[in-house]
């Protein structure tokens, strides 16, 4: 009998192609060990509340009241809830039709989108239009919606930083597009060199053409190098049909195939030249933790202008900054500062979330995206697609409102809110604590044999390079594992520390990393780092060649 629609063999190939390391082999093994009773320190996902970050009281009070509006009529409500939480709950309920149990508009509640627009206006110094802001079930869902509009097929390329957060590689595979990597420079603290960007695009294009010829003429028919053909295809606004005509001529020139034979091969023919359509930046970086400078952002925007790329600005870590030299600046502000023609020409979509920053409310699944220079007809299309799943969850929309419209001095709960959120010199604040944890981790890693690590300027990850000795790489091969997976698995078994191998994010050939969050409780940090050091140094001892192997 033929395979059934949901048998593995007959699934959508794009689904099978997807790779998602953050919850991959390491995560599954860690879950097994946990079931077996081993104590596991999960540092694989940026999930602050799972690692002890406490929710802020005020937002939770407000949402609890919105969930239980009947409490607002209860004479005792004042015994459990402060007056400003009650007032704010009434405010948000008044923005809904039917409370949290009713679908909102598919773009989210207009009143909350207005609060988001005001937040963006204050942040950037340029007004923002609520009609160009869509609320989503977390930032990931927004990224997927936008990429779904951008990617039409294998011929559409998206520039993604490497190392990258696998949401991007996974979504691009799922949508059948092409990922075009650009490498962040580890030795320059994961900085971005625009010349490398240009290189990536050029390489991608020629790769695209090679794909065409590779499929147009089966490899066995072709021996001559393809370089000279590139010129033919490096013309702008080339259409598939003209491209096909050239391909045919070239095919006949190169190999004296009869048309019949050629016709037979048309089944394998995928007609495109790779067109890079969009660029992703993650600022602050995940997993690399760097913060982009204004100068760098300007270069990137210039590049997008020249190459006619839409820029996707993943700015979900904008509140997670652990140094003062490079505070967060939004790509939108930099774009507006650049003035005409850029500020009216460059298409930008930027993403934010309630999952990170002071809130860390991952489980609520709240996010938004804001569109700049996107034509109204396209906005309508995105609205239509959002309508298919009716509306983002409404409670998280309230959290978004609370995040972008925080309490003000004088409000009853302000003191407590600020104390919980972040007092610059109060060493109980979440951010100050994360800053110290980032330092402990960076120093800890750098004190280990064959480990070098950049400081985590932002986001919530540390991404140390592990310089594996040749013998370790050999042992990994023997075990049939990628070297960094081999190392991370041994780390997990020995210490219970669950990390993600660098290969899950992409890294340069022959270079190995791991990603860990900086989220474990501050008091546990020394123990975690010393058990890491113990494991690592013994590992290196075991695999290093004592007859002259030295650090690279």
Q: Give the tokens for residue 373.
A: 């220079």
253 forms part of the interface with a second copy (CB under 8 A): no
CB of 263 to a second copy, least distance (A): 6
309/440 with CB nearer a second copy:
309
For 135, the 3-state DSSP assignment is strand
Nearest residue (CB) to a second copy, 308 versus 530 = 308
Specify the residue, 138 or 506, whose C-beta has the smaller distance to a second copy: 138
> Binding residue for a second copy (CB under 8 A) from 25, 33, 55, 254?
55
**Helix or strand or coil: residue 345?**
helix
Element holding 342 (H helix, E strand): helix 342-345
* CB 53 to a second copy: min, Å: 8
Question: Is residue 5 near a second copy by the rule CB under 8 A?
Answer: yes
Within 166-225, the residues that bind a second copy by CB under 8 A are 167, 170-171, 174
For the CB of residue 259, give the shortest distance to a second copy in the complex, in Å: 4
Binding-site string for a second copy from residue 323 to residue 362, where x marks contact by CB under 8 A and - marks none: ------------------------x-x---------xxxx
H or E stretch covering 136: strand 133-136
Torsion sign (Cα): 458, 462, 463, 465? positive
Distance, in Å, from the CA atom of 301 to the CA atom of 305, rounded to the nearest integer, reads: 6
Q: How far, rounded to the nearest angstrom, does the alpha carbon of residue 125 sit from its chain's CA centroid?
A: 26
Question: What is the nearest approach in angstroms of a second copy to the Cβ of residue 244?
Answer: 5
Per the CB < 8 A criterion, the answer to whether 514 and 501 are in contact is yes
Q: 3-state SS of 427-495?
A: CCCHHHHHHHHHHHHHHHHHCCCCEECCCCCECCEECCEECCCHHHHHHHHHCCCCHHHHHHHHHHHHH
Provide, rounded to whole angstroms, the least separation between the CB of residue 395 and a second copy: 6
In the set 57, 215, 293, 447, which binds a second copy (CB under 8 A)?
57
Residues 89-108 that bind a second copy (CB under 8 A): 96-104, 106
Q: How far is the CB of 539 from a second copy (least distance, A)?
A: 29
- Give the β-pairing of 310-314 and 465-466: unpaired
Q: How far apart are CA 100 and CA 63, in angstroms?
A: 9
Residue window 388-407: x/- pattern of binding to a second copy, with contact defined by CB under 8 A: xxxxxxxxx-----------
Given 43, 61, 495, 507, the residue binding a second copy (CB under 8 A): 61
Site membership for a second copy, residue 375 (CB under 8 A):
yes
Count CB-CB contacts under 10 A for residue 444. 21
CB of 450 to a second copy, least distance (A): 31
As measured in angstroms, the least distance from the Cβ of 78 to a second copy is: 10
Residue 209 or 475: which CB sits closer to a second copy?
A: 209
Site for a second copy, residues 410 to 469, rule: CB under 8 A: none
**Among residues 121, 264, 294, 306, which is the contact residue for a second copy, using CB under 8 A?**
264
The label of the residue with tokens 């030299």 reads 325
* Distance in Å, CB of 460 to a second copy, minimum: 13
- Residue from 466, 456, 446 nearest 513 by CA: 466
Q: Are 124 and 336 a contacting pair, CB within 8 Å? A: yes
Q: Total binding residues for a second copy by CB under 8 A? A: 113
Helix, strand, coil percentages in the chain from 3-state DSSP, rounded to 5? 50, 10, 35
Dump the DSSP string for 208-276: HHHHHHHHHS-GGG--S-SGGGHHHH--TT--HHHHHHHHHHHHHHHS---HHHHHHHGGG------EE
Minimal distance in Å, beta carbon 288 to a second copy? 20
- The stretch among 254-262, 464-472, 488-496, 532-540 that binds a second copy (CB under 8 A) is 254-262
Tell me which stretch binds a second copy (CB under 8 A): 144-152, 283-291, 464-472, 500-508.
144-152
Q: Which of 30, 40, 151, 217 binds a second copy (CB under 8 A)?
A: 151
Name residues contacting a second copy, limited to 278-317 (CB under 8 A): 278, 308-310
Select the span of 123-131, 192-200, 237-245, 428-436 touching a second copy (CB under 8 A): 237-245
146 vs 468, beta carbon nearer a second copy: 146
Per-residue CA distances from 425 to 80, 326, 431, 460 (Å): 30, 19, 10, 20
CA distance 550 to 31: 36
């Amino acid at each position: 009998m033929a395979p059934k629609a949901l048998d593995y063999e007959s699934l959508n190939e794009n689904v099978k192609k997807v790779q998602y390391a953050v919850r991959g082999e390491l995560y599954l093994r860690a879950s097994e060990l946990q079931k077996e009773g081993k104590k596991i320190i999960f540092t694989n996902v940026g999930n602050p509340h799972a690692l002890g970050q406490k929710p802020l009281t005020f937002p939770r009070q407000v949402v609890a009241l919105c969930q239980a509006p009947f409490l607002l009529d209860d004479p005792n409500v004042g015994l459990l809830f402060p007056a400003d939480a009650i007032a704010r709950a009434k405010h948000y309920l008044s923005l809904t039709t039917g409370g949290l149990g009713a679908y909102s508009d598919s773009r989210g509640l207009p009143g909350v989108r207005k609060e988001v627009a005001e937040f963006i206006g204050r942040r950037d110094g340029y007004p923002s239009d609520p009609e160009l802001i869509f609320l989503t079930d977390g930032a990931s869902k927004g990224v997927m919606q936008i990429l779904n509009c951008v990617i039409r097929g294998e011929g559409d390329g998206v520039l993604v930083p490497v190392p990258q957060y696998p949401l991007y590689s996974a979504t691009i595979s799922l949508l059948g597009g092409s990922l075009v990597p650009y490498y962040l420079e580890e030795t320059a603290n994961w900085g971005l060199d625009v010349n490398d960007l240009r290189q990536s695009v050029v390489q991608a294009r020629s790769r695209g053409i090679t794909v065409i010829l590779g499929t147009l003429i089966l490899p066995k028919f072709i021996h001559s190098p393809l370089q000279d053909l590139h010129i033919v295809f490096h013309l702008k606004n080339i259409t598939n049909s003209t491209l096909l005509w050239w391909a045919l001529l070239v095919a006949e020139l190169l190999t004296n195939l009869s048309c019949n034979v050629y016709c037979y091969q048309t089944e394998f023919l995928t007609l495109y030249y790779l067109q890079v359509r969009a660029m992703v930046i993650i600022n602050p970086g995940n997993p690399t933790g760097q913060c982009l400078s204004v100068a760098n952002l300007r270069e990137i925007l210039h590049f997008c202008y020249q190459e006619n790329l839409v820029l996707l600005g993943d700015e979900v870590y904008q509140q997670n900054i652990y140094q003062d030299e490079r505070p967060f600046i939004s790509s939108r502000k930099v774009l507006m500062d650049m003035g005409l023609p850029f500020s009216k020409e460059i298409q930008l979509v930027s993403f934010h979330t309630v999952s990170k920053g002071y809130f860390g409310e991952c489980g609520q699944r709240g996010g938004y995206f804001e569109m700049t220079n996107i034509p109204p007809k396209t906005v309508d299309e995105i609205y239509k697609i959002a309508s298919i799943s009716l509306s983002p969850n409404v409670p998280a929309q309230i959290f978004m409102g609370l995040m972008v419209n925080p309490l003000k001095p004088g409000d009853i709960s302000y003191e407590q809110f600020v104390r919980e959120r972040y007092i610059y010199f109060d060493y109980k604040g979440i951010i100050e604590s994360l800053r110290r944890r980032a330092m402990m981790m960076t120093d800890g890693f750098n004190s280990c044999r064959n480990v070098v690590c950049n400081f985590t300027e932002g986001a919530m990850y540390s991404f140390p390079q592990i310089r594996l000795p040749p013998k370790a790489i050999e042992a990994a091969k023997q075990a049939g594992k990628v070297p960094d997976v081999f190392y991370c698995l041994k780390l997990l078994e020995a210490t219970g520390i669950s990390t993600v191998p660098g290969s899950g994010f992409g890294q340069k050939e022959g270079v190995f990393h791991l990603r860990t969050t900086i989220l474990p409780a501050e008091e546990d940090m020394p123990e975690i780092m010393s058990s890491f050091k113990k494991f690592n140094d013994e590992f290196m001892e075991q695999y290093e060649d004592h007859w002259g192997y030295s650090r690279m």
